[in-house]
Chains A and B, each alone.
Chain A
Amino acid sequence: MTAPRWPLIYAVTAAIAVAILAALVAVAPRADGRIDWTAQMVDGGWMAWTLPIALFFYTIACLLVLFTLLAIHFPETPRTGILRIETTRGDRLFISLLGSAFLSLAWLAAFGAPLTYALILCLAYAAAVFRWV
Chain B
Amino acid sequence: MDKTQNNRAWFLVLPVLVLVAFSAVVPLMTVVNYAFNDTFGQNRFFWNGLGWFQDMLASERVHGALGRQVLFSAIILTIEVPLGIFVALNMPKNGFWSSFCLVLMALPLLIPFNVVGTIWQIFGRVDIGLLGHSLAALGIDYNYTNDALDAWLTIIVMDVWHWTSLVALLCYAGLQSIPQAYYQAARIDQASRWSIFRYIELPKMAGVLLIAVLLRFMDSFMIYTEPFVLTGGGPGNSTTFLSIDLVKMAVGQFDLGPAAAFSLMYFLVILLVSWVFYTVMTTLDRQEGK
Contact = CB atoms under 8 A, between A and B. Distances in A.
Interface stretch (B29-37, B100-108, B183-191): B29-37
Nearest to A102: B268
> Which of the listed residues B6, B7, B53 has the most CB atoms from chain A within 10 Å of its own CB?
B53
Interface in A99-133: 101-102, 105, 108-109, 112-113, 115
B33 A112 contact: no
A50 B54 contact: no
Contacts of A112: 54
B71 interface: no
Contacts of B74: none
Interface residues of A, number: 29
A39 B32 CA distance: 16
B290 interface: no
Contacts of A115: 50
A85 B29 contact: no
Given A72-B7, A98-B275, A102-B268, A47 B49 contact: no
A85 B283 contact: yes
Given A53-B32, A98-B271, A105 B47 contact: no
Interface in B188-237: none
Given A94-B275, A102-B272, A47 B58 contact: no
Nearest to A56: B32
Nearest to B50: A113
Interface string B43-60: 111010110011001100
A38 B49 CA distance: 8
B265 interface: yes
A5 B241 CA distance: 55
Interface string A32-50: 0000011110001111111
Contacts of B268: 98, 101-102, 105
Contacts of A72: 7
A10 interface: no
Interface residues of B, number: 29
Given A57-B29, A86-B286, A98-B272, A50 B47 contact: yes
A52 interface: yes
B230 to A, nearest CB: 32
A85 B37 contact: no
B30 A48 contact: yes
A53 B33 contact: yes
B134 interface: no
B54 A47 contact: no
Contacts of B29: 47, 57
Contacts of B49: 38, 113
Nearest to B25: A57
Contact of B39 (A46, A48, A98): A48
A28 B265 CA distance: 28
B279 interface: yes
A108 B33 contact: no
A40 B30 CA distance: 13
Interface in A76-101: 85-86, 94, 98, 101
